[in-house]
Amino acid sequence: MTNNEIHGHADPQAGAGRYFRQMDMVGVEGQAKLRNATVLVAGVGGLGGTAALYLAAAGIGKLILVHEGVTVLPDLNRQILMSTDGIGRTRVDQATESLSKLNPDVEIEVWNGKVEPEAVRPLVRKADLVIDARYDFPERYELNRLCLAEGKPMIEAAMYGYEISMTTVVPGETPCLECLYPESPKVWEPLGFPVLGAVSGMAGCMASLEAIKWLLGKPGLAGKLMRFDSLTFQSVEIDVAQAPRCELCGSL
Ligand SMILES: [Zn+2]
């Protein structure tokens, strides 16, 4: 990719290129890193769908989307890649359409299913980075194990009500999800937790930014757990340590 291609100078009719306004932040080399990157997004609902949208907008080369099933009406308070006339259609198909409309240069591969090891492990292997935006802990644990097995960094992004929490798990360097949450949190209920689209969208923006920072080599949340209260806009960040007896990653 040449400088002209990135800036869009090659086509004077097109004016400034698609990524022109971010070039002072990411640079030509950084934009090439984004273009050469593959990011797997597990869950393209309110959080993961927003993350995928901003990754596509930023020019990530390839997205791998993992999500099962079809859109239902209660999805639409937050799942901005879906639409009312898409109720009953598969979420990954609608997500692909929406993302391609925004940026047709992004290659997209999908798995219409849950995080099942046989199907998803080869997809994790293809990715440079994984964003975990699943809604249930069994799938989050499964993805954590797959990422550890394949040596892939995983951005762990979650929200509950007005609270957002995020960390980046780097195999061999940081605690894994099971160090941090050896058991499913008691407050968690499958698909029963409250979600306001503006909150899951903020969490998705944060996850996409954390992904972009990782790909550009900028400091992020590796080894740190960030908690953000969207009611007060206050955040806290704590250093996290490996659990001494974590069977997955604990070598301490
Ligand atoms: Zn661990």
How do residues 142-175 score in pLDDT, each as one tens digit?
999 999 999 999 999 999 999 999 999 999 899 9
> pLDDT per residue over 231-240, tens digit each?
999 999 999 9
CA–CA separation, 155 vs 167, rounded Å? 6
Report CA Rg, the chain.
18
Q: How far apart are CA 238 and CA 224, in angstroms?
A: 6
Ligand 1 is an ion; its neighbours by CB within 5 Å are 176, 178-179, 246, 248-249
pLDDT, position 1: 53
Rounded to an integer, what distance in angstroms lies between the CA atom of residue 23 and that of residue 32? Answer: 11
CA of 65 to the centre of ligand 1 (A): 25
Q: What pTM does this model have?
A: 0.92
Res 245: pLDDT:
75
Q: What is the CA(40)–ligand 1 centre distance, in A?
A: 21
Q: Distance from the CA of 85 to the center of ligand 1, in angstroms? A: 43
The one-digit pLDDT tens for each residue of the chain (252 residues) are 555 555 544 444 444 699 999 999 999 999 999 999 999 999 999 999 999 999 999 999 999 999 999 999 999 999 999 999 999 999 999 999 999 999 999 999 999 999 999 999 999 999 999 999 998 889 999 999 999 999 999 999 999 999 999 999 999 899 999 988 888 766 556 666 799 999 999 999 999 999 999 999 999 999 999 999 999 999 999 999 877 778 888 643
Burial 152-166 (b: 16+ CB within 10 A, else e): bbbbbbbbbeeebbb
pLDDT for residue 76: 97
Q: Separation of 59 CA from ligand 1 center, angstroms? A: 32
Residue 9: how many other CB atoms lie within 10 Å:
15
Please report the pLDDT score of residue 68 as a whole number.
Answer: 97
- Rounded to whole angstroms, the Cα distance separating 239 from 251 reads 18
Looking at this protein, which amino acid is placed at residue 9? H
Question: What spacing in Å lies between the alpha carbon of 178 and ligand 1's midpoint?
Answer: 5
* pLDDT confidence of residue 2: 53
Residue 207, phi-psi category: left (phi > 0), alpha (psi -120 to 50), beta (remainder): alpha
Residue 174 CA to ligand 1 center (angstroms) comes to: 8
Ligand 1 center–CA 222 separation, angstroms: 13
Give residue 186's pLDDT.
64
